[in-house]
Structure 1
Amino acid sequence: MNVKEMTAKQVAEKVFKKEHLFILDVRNESDFNDWKIEGENFEYLNIPYFELIEGVDGIVDQLPKDKAVIVVCAKGGSAQFVAEQLVEVGFDNVYTLRGGMKAWSEHLQKIKVYEDENMKVYQFIRVGKGCLSYMVLSGKEALVVDPSRFINVYEDVANDEGVKITHIVDSHLHADHISGGKELAERTGATYYLMKSEGAVFDFAPLEEHHTIEFENVNLEVLAVKTPGHTPGSVSFFVNHQLLFSGDTIFVGGLGRPDLGGKVAEWAADLYETVYEKVASIADDVIVLPAHYANLDEEINQEGFIGDSLGNIRARNDMMQNKQKDEFIKQVVAGANTETPPNFEDIVAINRGHVKVDIEKQQELEIGPNRCALHHTHE
């Protein structure tokens, strides 16, 4: 049976190159509407698998005969069954996504975002989840920012670059994905930093006690700027006065959500102080590199990574422009109570160290979109 496969990496390349792809998604309609593979030039047809068990004759007129069709399901099995039927009725260019949406959720796309004589910085885009992590390399050492649980990716890059991972930081206690910080630290011997106020119960270096993190002899400094707003212990990392790893405090298209803890007005006040006092003193030409993005097509820049100058972000976002504190809090409260990240309470419990789960459970908890942004403006 002439059914070919595409890997998540190959599909991601099509996203970044803005190529055309026709996707036949055979998951349930609600799952498709909640979360799908998104590409600027992608076409979609969503027909649940159970409607195709008896055959695909009813949809052949809705599919292109002269273009590649990729069939997508949750893990790959249902897509293979449907793809085989399509080949039987005469479709020549049919693919399945190897590993299905589970594999799509787990793919990390590495992109170089910065390099000078002191450091090189890679961004890892988790395309199917909207999560971003980073490696800062200097001399023979590296620092990892907001690592995902796919720690082999960072280890492989360190091996390829001839560096040792010596420092790992999480900007906050993540609510939509499981952090790889603790395990990566255990595997590499690196120091793992987290805010003590986030409530983790395992051993780590409290960021409250480390205002700067220095490594190598090139004077690469990572300044932990206390920037509450998304969670009480959110921080940002200001590197060499050139890059701001902003966690979930500032996004390319908006600000972090302060409503996940049930204290939206109180945390919105913290967010205001962050935006108008701490971040206000940072220069416009500093590059902001967040921990999440909401829309790849809108937020990816001409260099191919997610990030922008702080000046451009300020100019686009009216929440960062001369708002009075009361008005700011009022707007944040009005925008709150939107959907929460799926399974966020379970994920937070894992990231705090209260609960341990196996790989299969981790995959199940992470399936779905990220919902960590509060306010997006793209005028």
Structure 2
Amino acid sequence: MTLKVMTAKQLAEKVLNKETLFILDVRNESDFRDWKVEGENFRYVNVPYFELIDGIEPIANQIPQNQDVLVICAKGGSSVFVGEQLVDAGFNHIYTLEDGMQAWSQYLEKVKVYEDKNLKVFQFIRVGKGCLSYMVVSGQEALIVDPARFVDDYVKAAEKEGAKITHIVDSHLHADHISGGNMLAELTGAKYYIMKSEGAVFNFEALENYQKIEFEQVQLEVLAVKTPGHTPGSVSFLVNDKLLFSGDTIFISGLGRPDLGNKVREWANDLFHTVHNKVSEIADDVIVLPGHYADLDTEINSAGYIGDTLGKIRKRNENMFKATKDEFLNRVEKSASSVKPPNFEEIVAINRGVEKVDSVKMQELEIGPNRCAVHHAE
């Protein structure tokens, strides 16, 4: 019997395929409560590493003998120590997560969303964070929507499709994770677009100046309206009248939270006009592809990606899409969360280009759960 290693990719497949797994998480209790690997058919035991330094006897009766057991810690070292003890004690099927929750936070799972004669669309699911990004390929060109900072993943994905990244768009100035938009533009020479009102200090193309972005057989319509999710300069993108990249404005199970700027009612008013004026003009059969998800188990569809038609989202959230203005504002204000994304002010400063940090600091700032898709229209 030997201790086996499970990669973040293998773990993501278990999550997406809804497999069974027993997880022994040896991080501190507060870290586990705040953020853990979520799986519909996963079972968990959380015992801090320091309680197991002298042996695994205190938890021996809680560990299954004939089921895969994955030991998880922050970066991989502590889980190896505990895992080896379990193996020495005679337990089978013991795995450790390679590089721990750090690797889980960074992994991107690529799935195909859509294909026709003019374009292909891929979704990158950041399973450990609930963040979503996209690649639109047409001919030999590719557009990236809301890229994470793992820029090599997008370059390799484009190369696999025989395309070069020529356009990059951010739907807004992200507050929960560090954008790869500017980094990817510097690496590839692609044009990078974001709203000027977001206050970025590096070189970019201001989305205020564009109604459409066109390349190959793609027409990307910029819905450059004040659509608050985390920022007043949020944008949605409509591609070929078939796909709506909604950023943090519309989610599968709700609408974007408008409270990070401490202007809940003012931004909720903007969100109301977005939903009832701009979005109301979009057809029901358009596929909505959001910037985040809140619950993978309920929001991933049978095709394996997070997305749904606008008509179904309207029906699911009818009390928000058909609410009067006062009803809408009251519901949004009532549901606004006081739990904000960890380190969001520093992350916003980095994404604006005001502050610069190294990759180690980026990892530290991003550790933790997604808290963007928390405003559900229920």
Q: Say yes or no: TM over 0.5.
A: yes
In structure 1, what is the equivalent of residue 228 of structure 2?
Answer: 229
1:36-56, CA deviations, whole angstroms, 9 ceiling, x for partnerless residues? 001111111111111111110
1:55 maps to a residue whose letter is G
In structure 2, what is the equivalent of residue 322 of structure 1?
Answer: 322
2:342 maps to a residue whose letter is P
For 2:224 and 2:276, the matched residues in 1 are separated by 13
2:170 maps to a residue whose letter is D
For 1:305 and 1:6, the matched residues in 2 are separated by 23
- Tell me whether 163-172 or 13-22 shows the greater mean CA deviation: 13-22
For 1:182 and 1:33, the matched residues in 2 are separated by 33
1:106-164, CA deviations, whole angstroms, 9 ceiling, x for partnerless residues? 00000000000000000000000000000000000000000000000000011111101
In structure 1, what is the equivalent of residue 34 of structure 2?
Answer: 34
SS at match of 1:373: coil
For 1:135 and 1:336, the matched residues in 2 are separated by 31
1:346-373, CA deviations, whole angstroms, 9 ceiling, x for partnerless residues? 0000000000000100000000011112
In angstroms, what is the RMSD of aligned CA positions?
Answer: 1.0
**Taking structure 1 as reference, are residues 91 and 374 closer, same or farther at Cα in structure 2, changes over 3 Å only?**
closer
Gaps in structure 2 of 5+ consecutive residues: none
CA contact (8 A) 1:236 1:249 kept: yes
1:199-244, CA deviations, whole angstroms, 9 ceiling, x for partnerless residues? 101110000001100001x2x1001102412121000000000000
1:45-88, CA deviations, whole angstroms, 9 ceiling, x for partnerless residues? 11111111111011111010011111000000110110011011
In structure 2, what is the equivalent of residue 18 of structure 1?
Answer: 18
2:262 maps to a residue whose letter is G
Instruction: Number of aligned residue pairs: give it.
Output: 376
Q: Displacement, 1:319?
A: 4.2
CA contact (8 A) 1:225 1:238 kept: yes
1:325-351, CA deviations, whole angstroms, 9 ceiling, x for partnerless residues? 112111111112420000000000000
Q: Which runs of 4+ in 1 moved over 6 A?
A: none
In structure 2, what is the equivalent of residue 297 of structure 1?
Answer: 297
Q: Displacement, 1:374?
A: 4.0
For 2:319 and 2:166, the matched residues in 1 are separated by 37
1:53 maps to a residue whose letter is I
For 1:234 and 1:67, the matched residues in 2 are separated by 46
- Once the two structures are superposed, the pairs formed by residues 121-160 of structure 1 within 5 Å of their partners are 121-160=121-160
For 1:72 and 1:374, the matched residues in 2 are separated by 26
1:368 maps to a residue whose letter is G
For 1:341 and 1:28, the matched residues in 2 are separated by 20
1:283-306, CA deviations, whole angstroms, 9 ceiling, x for partnerless residues? 100000000000000100010000
SS at match of 1:37: coil
Gaps in structure 1 of 5+ consecutive residues: none
Q: Displacement, 1:318?
A: 3.4
For 2:377 and 2:12, the matched residues in 1 are separated by 25
For 2:105 and 2:322, the matched residues in 1 are separated by 38
Q: Displacement, 1:377?
A: 5.2
1:7 maps to a residue whose letter is T
Q: Displacement, 1:321?
A: 3.2
SS at match of 1:259: coil
For 1:196 and 1:340, the matched residues in 2 are separated by 24
SS at match of 1:153: helix
In structure 1, what is the equivalent of residue 264 of structure 2?
Answer: 264
2:141 is the counterpart of 1:115: no
CA contact (8 A) 2:255 2:377 kept: no
- Once the two structures are superposed, the pairs formed by residues 348-363 of structure 1 within 5 Å of their partners are 348-363=348-363
In structure 2, what is the equivalent of residue 3 of structure 1?
Answer: 3
For 1:354 and 1:300, the matched residues in 2 are separated by 36
In structure 2, what is the equivalent of residue 93 of structure 1?
Answer: 93
For 1:243 and 1:182, the matched residues in 2 are separated by 24
In structure 2, what is the equivalent of residue 285 of structure 1?
Answer: 285
For 1:318 and 1:51, the matched residues in 2 are separated by 49
2:224 maps to a residue whose letter is K
In structure 1, what is the equivalent of residue 313 of structure 2?
Answer: 313
2:234 maps to a residue whose letter is S
- Once the two structures are superposed, the pairs formed by residues 337-376 of structure 1 within 5 Å of their partners are 337-376=337-376
In structure 2, what is the equivalent of residue 67 of structure 1?
Answer: 67
For 2:63 and 2:129, the matched residues in 1 are separated by 27
1:323 maps to a residue whose letter is A
CA contact (8 A) 1:170 1:181 kept: yes
Q: TM-score by structure 2 length? A: 0.98
For 1:313 and 1:150, the matched residues in 2 are separated by 30
In structure 2, what is the equivalent of residue 189 of structure 1?
Answer: 189
1:247-277, CA deviations, whole angstroms, 9 ceiling, x for partnerless residues? 0000001000110001111100000000000
For 1:377 and 1:80, the matched residues in 2 are separated by 43
In structure 1, what is the equivalent of residue 255 of structure 2?
Answer: 255
CA contact (8 A) 1:105 1:129 kept: yes
CA contact (8 A) 2:73 2:100 kept: yes
In structure 2, what is the equivalent of residue 241 of structure 1?
Answer: 241
CA contact (8 A) 1:255 1:375 kept: yes
For 2:57 and 2:45, the matched residues in 1 are separated by 15
CA contact (8 A) 1:229 1:274 kept: no
Identity value in percent: 66
**Taking structure 1 as reference, are residues 338 and 279 closer, same or farther at Cα in structure 2, changes over 3 Å only?**
same
CA contact (8 A) 1:168 1:191 kept: yes
CA contact (8 A) 1:276 1:320 kept: no
**Taking structure 1 as reference, are residues 373 and 319 closer, same or farther at Cα in structure 2, changes over 3 Å only?**
farther
